Structure 1
């Protein structure tokens, strides 16, 4: 196994130049003092470098680390301390916030923290709490959520994790078109090549921008539930902070979904797995211009005449004069309303029910207590943006209708329920509707479609029964009360391929490692709290703790003591576990593997 390392000239984001690549065998990284020079090679796939003979050489400094993850019970105290962070008042005195304070690079802390909170369904309240703290220091509404604070980085990381599928279904088709059948779009007079027609290029750019913009503003139905929940919180916090500004509730959301999500994905599609390779220079330039346009279109109220004069590039100002139509602003407003609402809404710009999916499947008769083939009837199912219905035949009046707003969950059904494969259930307050699709692909498509259209329903269930209620009990948990709370956590609130595998223990171990590495800063922060308490407020020259956020020295000090105590206990556990493993585990086993011998 080997790792590929690409070398690019990234002096300017618009003009990234591929210089060469190397492949490094992973096994050599386990050697403590391995040193070697590698000749850069041409790219095997994608765009080839102009030089194919002598590409120079590359010196790498690579660090190889191994996480020693203990059994889950060892992390209970630290995990609980982190998970209750959103309940701590003030939030700056919480363990999660302190982690970001002591790490030199906030990104080191944000990645494992977001994944851990996401895994335990605690991310939304934490983001709301740190965003509220962020807003306290925001004096101007037009600068809301524009910096790299803990709040903005948490939202950025969350969007990267849960928004992959959203980007795929929204942008990938149009990004593929731009990259595979590129049209010249350069409109900067200085960068025009001989023979280029600026009017034709502007038309091409307008075509791409219109297409990307249209795909985005009509995509609200695909926006993951978690993103909608976060945007809802940010919107209302912003409106509370600036009550006299009617536009801030929109700019609070657009600063993330347009500026930090869609615009970034457009300019770097390879980073978000929308394209397999970095685009060539001309395509990269086209994507950059489109990204700039999307940022501007997504900024609330940015298309006014006064804003057009603020463009740094005159050619961009001329280009955007063609977008001075109220329909663009209204489309953005409608889209932002849709993705930051807790109520189920229809796709942007559509007032009539939208037909989403239909097909023939089998429905089990509701309320039947016995298992039998006669209980399954072939029916025609139809899903629109307003209701889910089934009919005896296509084009006939519906036999049964479920309003979309009444659907509480859509989940797979265990095969052992009726000894049938490819079944799923629609929970809607009455008897569960059990449906058998014709194959596994069809079942997944129906589940995904139903989950998307119900993603903003306020009364979504958190738990469900994966099996049926038959002969007086649930087959899954043996509960005898039909109305009992489900025994399994709902998993299908987002499309299947947005589900991510998170090892909560590994993420907690990484956070423990960060606290251990930054032990000296924990002590400095502890001393700062003591100093503030003694002097009844910050001293005039707080050099030792001027970079720390300490709103409540007593509460912060209390959390710090808990963190240090938990870290010390984990240190002892690591030492004991390592000694026990090395003395009792057989060399070459999973507990005591051979290091550096496997390629």
Structure 2
């Protein structure tokens, strides 16, 4: 049994942001924090006070988290980024609205006393003669993960213990976010029966300015009398919030947030549901009607259809039945379609499932296909415009030393450049038949053949091609061209000029996908100059589809080579800056060098060039921890460490410097999931580095010290390349089926009697799962009740 908390975040846009630059504008971006741990950084939107991001994330969060905060920053290239404001949402506010929040929220001023993080290890006890306590003792042991308040990337923490108007302070531990005090403080209890408070505060000592607040913990004396002693790690909380005069004047953010807590039962509980769904797909192979999937299709709504499609696609991928599932949905859709021109144009379960399947199974293929062309457009930064009503000659520049460009010159040059981009892309698409993933090929083959069988008439000869292109071009390639940041093709959004070029190219690809130049050119006649390239692209696209459907196996490649080209085994790859250390101390200068890093099924390898034959590697089973590194260690907040053990038992650490917090979390996610079943994983680690004969985080001098912070084996950010979690997908499908059980029962009476056995089995399985969840909840309540009784006694 496991608790899974997932937070959906969509950062839509901002408005009325304050001016931060001398240009009279700002360059805003957002940082998302879970309890002050940065997990997401959006792209920077340049020179605007009303930015639009439109970025979506599904974040795995610990069930015990307290706050989600979004900090809006202004990027500065010459100085430190300016803080504009923040939005904070408590977990209680998200839990109170299961349907999620979707609203504008005012930015507020950032109060340093609220920006706290970390935990403190305390032992608090009441001492005295007989049954009446006379003294209060607070032993302060250590703290971890404190907020960084000083320019050196650390703090100088000390503890202030307050009781009944009296206070005592610990020594100051210099330059550490993981201090160890091991000091005791005692107070006389004036009135043992009074319900007073013990306050433990952590401060950052400053020589010149006032001390910075790092957090506090409160304890009730009455509660202590019940337990006599409390010991453990306690989360530091913020001080009382202050009302700012700037509230409502810093602009606002449009956000969508939805928190989902799931109790995932052991796999055995979901086996009957998974088998029933698999049987429903299997009956289709024997010529029977897929009753259960048909009922799911009928009972999904526009609000939950995409989510249900995602869950079903991942479940059947895990069961090895994705081809059968998609084939069955194609059949259901074709049975309901009478007009071929509207085929797969609606947001049906079939369309949403195919769209989800392409993103799960085809994202690496998309990167290989579009990457070179997208990168070329970003590097060229040429002014491209075909619409005469939108041509701006001042943007186009001069044709030469003595002649200003005319509108005709701009359109002619733009047409030539767009034809070059389109030709390059379509040629790459034709060549991609060699490495298109096998699952994608099989899905397109099924779709093509089913449509051909449903509409065999000569006048519908193009429909089978359009069915494939409606997904491949209109729902996959074109959206990725228009928004490469959202498909992880680029780290940042395009500027206005590049964005217009991408939009025009995406329009051209959509026209190619429609297999008809006349319709587009009649609606937008300024697209006519692209007609030769579009016509050639249509021919190449048809050739590509024909190769996938009829020429699946190339004569010059054996099956094994083709499978390696198509499927591959890489989970993630890209250039990173690396430093490797064994027993050596870290030098003061930056030791990082650029390598091409590849994460495959069993290895993490790295070499100086992308296709270099010489490479070093780490066997994944030998990895003991994958963790972040403190910013002060290398002057970067995006460094991670991979701790592994060699055959000799010697420990080795590899440091990787990423470009952004998003890339950092993506690598953390991929590596932690790849090593999730490793034996001998570490329970604690050092977030700092060992130099000058001690650890920079906790100042321990023993290099073999086990560590001052606990390791986090969970995944921070869910990405498209994440491995499947079949139990979680089954739990999500169970929850959906439970919510539509009544509509399903009503539908049963309207349909044929053959559904009786299927629905009877389904309802019995759902009831068994409800009973299992109820038993888990009862067990949890009993555990908390026993803890409460122990405290009372």
Question: Is this a same-fold pair by TM over 0.5?
Answer: yes
Counterpart for residue 57 of structure 1: 252
- CA deviations on 1:386-407 (whole Å, 9 max, x unpaired) are 459xxxxxxxxxxxxx9979x9
Change (3 A) 1:528 1:256: closer
Contact 2:12 2:254 in 1 (8 A): no
Cα shift at 1:200: 1.6
Matches within 5 A, 1:492-511: 500-511=722-733
Question: Does the 8 Å contact 1:43/1:49 carry over to 2?
Answer: yes
> 1:479 matched to which residue of 2?
none
Larger radius of gyration: 2
More divergent stretch after superposition (278-287 vs 136-145): 136-145
Give the CA deviation at 1:265.
Answer: 1.3
> 1:36 Cα shift?
9.8
Deviation at 1:509, TM superposition (A): 0.7
Candidates 523, 530, 533, aligned match of 1:320: 530
1:243 aligned residue (449, 456, 474): 456
Correspondence for 1:41 = 73
- Equivalent residue number for residue 94 of structure 1: 291
Quote how far apart the aligned CAs of 1:308 are. Answer: 5.5
Task: Provide the C-alpha distance between the structure 1 equivalents of 2:485 and 2:741, rounded to a whole number of angstroms.
Answer: 38
Cα distance in 2 for residues equivalent to 1:61 and 1:117: 29
Residue 25 (1) aligns with residue 33 (2): yes
Contact 2:384–2:501 (8 Å) recurs in 1: yes
Which residue in 2 is equivalent to 1:220? Answer: 433
What's the counterpart of residue 577 of structure 1? 776
Alignment of 1:267-416 (within 5 A): 267-300=482-515, 302-303=516-517, 306-307=518-519, 309=521, 311-316=522-527, 318-323=528-533, 327-341=536-550, 343-345=552-554, 385-386=556-557
What do the CA deviations read for 1:45-79 (whole angstroms, capped 9, x no partner)?
9xx99997976123656332222111110111111
Three-state SS of the structure 1 residue aligned to 2:484 is coil
1:131 aligned partner: 330
Give, in angstroms, the shift of residue 118 of structure 1. Answer: 0.7
Greater shift in the superposed pair: 576-585 or 237-246? 576-585
TM-score normalised to structure 2 length: 0.47
Instruction: Give the Cα–Cα distance (whole angstroms) in 2 for the partners of residues 135 and 123 of structure 1.
Output: 18
**CA displacement at 1:523 relative to structure 2:** 1.6
CA distance in 2, matches of 1:95, 1:44: 56
Partner in structure 2 of residue 205 of structure 1: 418
**Distance in 2 of aligned mates of 1:155 and 1:256:** 7
- In the alignment, which of 8, 14, 35 is matched to residue 13 of structure 2? 8
Q: Please give the per-residue CA displacement for 1:424-473, whole angstroms capped at 9, x wherever unaligned.
A: 9xxxxxxxxxxxx97678x9xxxxxxxxxxxxxxxxxxxxxxxxxxxxxx
Whole-angstrom CA distance in 2 between matches of 1:566 and 1:582: 25
2:352 matched to which residue of 1?
Answer: 153
Q: Which has the higher strand share?
A: 2
Contact 2:35 2:67 survives alignment (8 Å):
no
Superposed CA deviations along residues 355-392 of structure 1, whole A, max 9, x for unmatched, are: xxxxxxxxxxxxxxxxxxxxxxxxxxxxxx3459xxxx
For residues 535-561 of structure 1, the C-alpha deviation after alignment (integer angstroms, 9 at most, x for no partner) is: xxxxxxxxxxxxxxxxx4323444333
Structure with more relative contact order (C-alpha pairs < 8 Å, separation 6 or more): 1
**Do the aligned residues in 1 keep the contact of 2:426 with 2:537 (CA within 8 Å)?**
no
Structure 2: how far apart are the matches of 1:95 and 1:296?
38
What is residue 109 of structure 1 aligned with on the other side?
Answer: 308
Contact kept, 8 Å, 1:110 with 1:153, in 2: the verdict is: yes
- Alignment of 1:66 onto 2:74: no
The 8 Å contact of residues 294 and 332 in structure 2, kept in 1 or not, is answered as: no
Q: Distance in 2 between matches of 1:569 and 1:18?
A: 56
1:176-206 residue CA offsets vs partner (Å, 9 max, x unmatched): 1212331111111111113442222222222
Cα pair distance change 1:44/1:341, threshold 3 Å: farther
The residue number in structure 2 matching 1:461 is none
Alpha-carbon separation, structure 2, partners of 1:129 and 1:344 = 25
Change in CA separation of 1:272 and 1:24 when aligned onto 2, cut-off 3 Å? closer
Q: Tell me how far apart the structure 2 counterparts of residues 92 and 250 of structure 1 sit (CA, whole Å).
A: 27
- The TM-score normalised by the length of structure 1 is 0.61
Contact 1:3–1:25 (Cα < 8 Å) also in 2: no
Alpha-carbon distance in structure 2 between the residues aligned to 1:204 and 1:410: 33
RMSD: 4.5
The alignment partner of 2:388 has SS state of: coil
Distance 1:178 1:40, change over 3 A: same
Distance 1:187 1:170 in 2: 25
Give the unaligned 5+ runs of structure 2.
1-6, 16-24, 37-60, 86-248, 397-409, 571-600, 602-612, 620-718, 788-793
* SS class of match (1:218): helix
Aligned-pair distance for 1:113?
Answer: 0.8
1:249 positional shift: 2.5
Q: Residue by residue, what CA displacement relative to the aligned partner does 1:514-572 show, whole Å, maximum 9, x if unpaired?
A: 223x1xx4223312432x3xxxxxxxxxxxxxxxxxxx432344433322221111111
Aligned match of 1:538: none
Q: Distance in 2 between matches of 1:82 and 1:337?
A: 33
1:143 aligns with 2:342: yes
Quickly say closer, same or farther: Cα 1:43–1:583, change in 2 above 3 A: farther
1:156: how far off? 0.7
Q: How does 1:386-535 map to 2 (within 5 A)?
A: 386=557, 500-516=722-738, 518=739, 521-530=740-749, 532=750
Q: Map Cα deviations across residues 568-593 of structure 1 (whole Å, 9 max, x no partner).
A: 111111121233356569999xxxxx
Measured at CA, do residues 72 and 212 of structure 1 come closer, stay the same or move farther in structure 2, by a change above 3 Å? Answer: same
* Partner Cα distance (1:49, 1:276) in 2: 19
Report the CA distance between 1:281 and its aligned residue: 2.2
How many Å apart are 1:131 and its aligned residue? 0.7
Match of 2:317?
Answer: 118
Please state how far the C-alpha of 1:336 moved relative to its aligned partner.
0.6
CA contact (8 A) 1:92 1:98 kept: no
